[in-house]
A and B are shown apart, each in its own frame.
Chain A
Amino acid sequence: MSNDGCGAPPGGAAAPAAVGSQAIVQGRVTQNGSAVPTGYARLLNSGGDFVAEVPLGEDGGFRFFAAPGTWTLRVLAPGGVRAERAVSAGTGKVTELEVAV
């Protein structure tokens, strides 16, 4: 996909990309087995600092193109919902996680 701006691609997670040298962290947010379509996924670095945020897609999906290393994924959703997961990213890998809130 083109990357001529800072903008996220439409609708939450980016279109499937060739993994190549990317370190992808992606997944889906669910509540009682159903997708959470309204909410935000935030990526924090190992120091706890915010790095990036995407709105969840209609399917509760999110995707980040991170760097190799350890990250924290934080989910925010209406009703004061908060959830956190530790996640490791590696070059050439897609790390998948489902976050049940």
Chain B
Amino acid sequence: MNRSDVLVDADWVEAHHGDDGVVLVEVDEDTSAYDKGHIQGAVKIDWKQDLQDPVRRDFVDKAGFEALLSARGISNDDTVVLYGGNNNWFAAYAYWYFRLYGHDNVKLLDGGRKRWELDSRKLATEVPERARTSYHAREQDSSIRAFRDEVLSAIGQRNLVDVRSPDEFAGRLLAPAHLPQEQAQRGGHIPTAKNVPWSKAAEEDGTFKSDDALRTLYGDEAGLDFGKDTIAYCRIGERSAHTWFVLHELLGQPNVKNYDGSWTEYGSLVGVPIEVGDGK
């Protein structure tokens, strides 16, 4: 995997505007952002309404993903370029979904919506009409998704990366600081996890840091053993999808999984070990 295989810049997007076979998709933390303005031609995926099972705590299943992409007019052989706000947080989460269901030709717009806006590039409000397709997803790729029992058995064996903020890692906060702190669960982190807040992988304008800077961040500074397999987690698996993208797609680490159950599951389990306090 090479950076240019998985990232495009704003100039690329502008140069390929209107190309057949290229679909821009906005996926934002703030799901109303698209309606205020989006990159011309982009369609919207709502991470909450479109990507979550409405009843069980799980993703949309294969049939649901197929229905979603078909309705958005996305074909199996399209190049899908995802972008969103907040360092591509939710766009990276959607990227992981696309990979999970076997869509190979997917990329992120480096810097996402923030860099686009800070550069004063144009946004449009008209919603494009795309003809319906018949999208066929593959079965979920279990090599990039971790479940709780695998996480428990990974304690002390594999790299565990907790990508929440230091205050959440230590147990002082239970959610990111721009959200109400109203969750009922234990605070802390999975023993042996290293704390590398997800956003450290991004520059202030939302673009990803260089490969060298990323290797230093996770390796030299955080102490990840690049020779071992890795599981990343956060609170509900979205910030850790961003870190999964960095480790698996940018740095080419072979065995990296996202534990999407994350702290809201782990911190509510009975009888599992929890550590509190700041990272070592």
Which residues of A are in contact with B by a Cβ distance under 8 Å? 1, 3, 5-12, 14, 17, 21-22, 38-40, 42-43, 45, 49-55, 58, 63-67, 76-79
- Tell me if A7 and B180 are in contact (CB < 8 A): no
B118 surroundings in chain A (CB, below 8 A): 40, 76-78
Q: Is the interface of A mostly helix, strand, loop or mixed?
A: loop
- Tell me if A55 and B33 are in contact (CB < 8 A): yes
With an 8 A cutoff between CB atoms, is B85 at the interface? yes
- Tell me if B30 and A55 are in contact (CB < 8 A): yes
Given A11-B30, A49-B166, A22 and B181 contact (CB-CB distance below 8 Å): yes
Given A55-B30, A78-B120, A7 and B178 contact (CB-CB distance below 8 Å): no
Closest to B46 in A: A7
Segment of B197-205, B213-221, B267-275 in the binding face:
B197-205
What's the least CB distance linking B174 to chain A, in Å?
A: 9
- Tell me if B119 and A65 are in contact (CB < 8 A): no
- Tell me if B30 and A67 are in contact (CB < 8 A): no
- Tell me if B177 and A6 are in contact (CB < 8 A): no
With an 8 A cutoff between CB atoms, is B235 at the interface? yes
Give Cα A86 to B238, complex, Å.
29
- Tell me if B114 and A65 are in contact (CB < 8 A): no
- Tell me if B178 and A65 are in contact (CB < 8 A): yes
Give Cα A50 to B36, complex, Å.
26
What's the least CB distance linking A77 to chain B, in Å?
A: 7
B177 surroundings in chain A (CB, below 8 A): 43, 51-52, 64-67
A52 surroundings in chain B (CB, below 8 A): 165, 176-178
- Tell me if B117 and A50 are in contact (CB < 8 A): no
- Tell me if A7 and B117 are in contact (CB < 8 A): no
B side interface size, CB within 8 A: 43
What's the least CB distance linking B192 to chain A, in Å?
A: 22
B182 surroundings in chain A (CB, below 8 A): 3
- Tell me if B178 and A43 are in contact (CB < 8 A): yes
With an 8 A cutoff between CB atoms, is B3 at the interface? no
Chain B stretch 109-128: residues in CB contact (< 8 A) with chain A:
114, 117-120
Give Cα A12 to B33, complex, Å.
9
Give per-residue flags for B153-164: 1 if the beta carbon is below 8 A from chain A beta carbons, else 0. 000000000000
Given A50-B199, A55-B33, A77-B118, A3 and B166 contact (CB-CB distance below 8 Å): no
A42 surroundings in chain B (CB, below 8 A): 204
Give per-residue flags for B38-57: 1 if the beta carbon is below 8 A from chain A beta carbons, else 0. 00000000011000100000
With an 8 A cutoff between CB atoms, is B65 at the interface? no
B165 surroundings in chain A (CB, below 8 A): 45, 51-52
A55 surroundings in chain B (CB, below 8 A): 30, 33, 85-86, 114
B175 surroundings in chain A (CB, below 8 A): 3, 6, 65
Q: Would you list 25 pairs from A and B whose C-beta atoms are within 8 A, ordered by A residue?
A: A3-B180, A3-B183, A5-B52, A6-B176, A6-B234, A7-B30, A7-B47, A7-B48, A8-B179, A10-B31, A10-B32, A22-B180, A45-B167, A49-B200, A50-B197, A51-B167, A52-B165, A52-B178, A53-B87, A53-B199, A55-B85, A55-B114, A65-B178, A67-B177, A79-B120
Give Cα A50 to B87, complex, Å.
12
- Tell me if B176 and A38 are in contact (CB < 8 A): no
Closest to A15 in B: B180
Give Cα A9 to B166, complex, Å.
23
